[in-house]
Amino acid sequence: MSSSEYFAWVHYHPREAEDPSAVWAAAYKAGGRAAIANSAQVCGLVPQLRELLFLLEDGVVEGIVRSSDRRPAFVTEDEECEVVW
């Protein structure tokens, strides 16, 4: 519970604010609500992450990155050091 939320809670619950266990219980409940809200936001990312995974698996992203690379190709005689995509 942030300090502004605490003082708002104290304003609306003046008698409960005198009991430390009530303050802790309210903070615990507020933390639970915040965790549920954050979980809902993370769940909203799942479809976007799934799309990104499909793009990575299809090689679309790799193709875009390779086509945008303007560096000269590194040539070496040592086949063990050659990077293969």
Give the closest residue to 1 by CA, choosing from 28, 38, 21, 22.
Answer: 28
50: tokens are: 């799934």
DSSP string of 27-66?
Answer: HHHHHHHHHHHHHHHHHHHHHHHHHHHHHHHHTHHHHHHH
pLDDT digits over 27-85, tens only?
A: 778 877 888 888 888 888 889 889 888 888 888 888 888 888 888 776 666 666 655 55
Which pLDDT does position 44 carry in this prediction?
Answer: 84
pTM, rounded to two decimals: 0.39
What is the count of structural domains for the chain?
1
Q: Which domain holds residue 64?
A: 3-81
Question: What is the total residue count of the chain?
Answer: 85
